[in-house]
Amino acid sequence: MPSNSLNAQFDSAGRAASEAMVDFDRRMAERLGLGYNDYRCLDLLLARGAMQAGELARAIGFTTGAVTGIVDRLVRAGFVERAVDSADLRRVVVTPVAAAANARVWPRLHNLDRRLEELHRSYSDKERAVLLDYLARLAEAMRIEAEAL
């Protein structure tokens, strides 16, 4: 495919956005005193709320043993709490600690949130709808291909 084609430009822009997101997450992890994968799990928990440990492992693509170690570190750092699932005593539920997120995570995201809000406002509702559709379909394609690997 020629490097100046629209598809190549999409590929390049998508790659650049992905690299920027990974770099941002890596730096956030460092600022919070966490490892990159620990921060990824915390970020997922903050986005989705409480999750069973096995569900978290599947969502992040790690073994349950690896997630146990991550949850141990996040508990020690005060970012999450772990409790036995009242519906199934064999399972553990991991819940983000709102006070820790409010004090340590959200203030660091304030500037990014403001910048993204400005970016969103620069597009019409119709343009945002197209972008949302594209991102949803891109995420689905990536999930399907990741599972096929």
pLDDT band at 3 (very low <50, low <70, confident <90, very high): low
Whether domain 6-148 has CATH 3.40.630.40: the reply is no
Burial class (CB in 10 A: 0-12, 13-18, 19+), 57: buried
Of all residues in the chain, the percent with pLDDT exceeding 70 is 98
Kindly give the residue spans of alpha helices, DSSP state H, lying in the chain: 6-32, 36-48, 53-60, 64-76, 98-100, 106-121, 125-148
Give residue limits of the domains in the chain.
6-148
- pLDDT tens digit string along 44-65? 999 999 999 999 999 999 999 9
* Mean pLDDT score across all residues of the chain: 93
pLDDT of the residue at 85: 83
Instruction: List the Cα angle 15/8/121 in 5-degree steps.
Output: 60
Candidate from 17-21, 31-35, 107-111 with smallest mean pLDDT: 107-111
Whether the per-residue pLDDT at 12 is higher than 90: the answer is yes
Cβ within 8 Å of residue 77, ≥6 positions away: 32, 33, 34, 38, 100
- pLDDT tens digit string along 115-129? 999 999 999 999 999
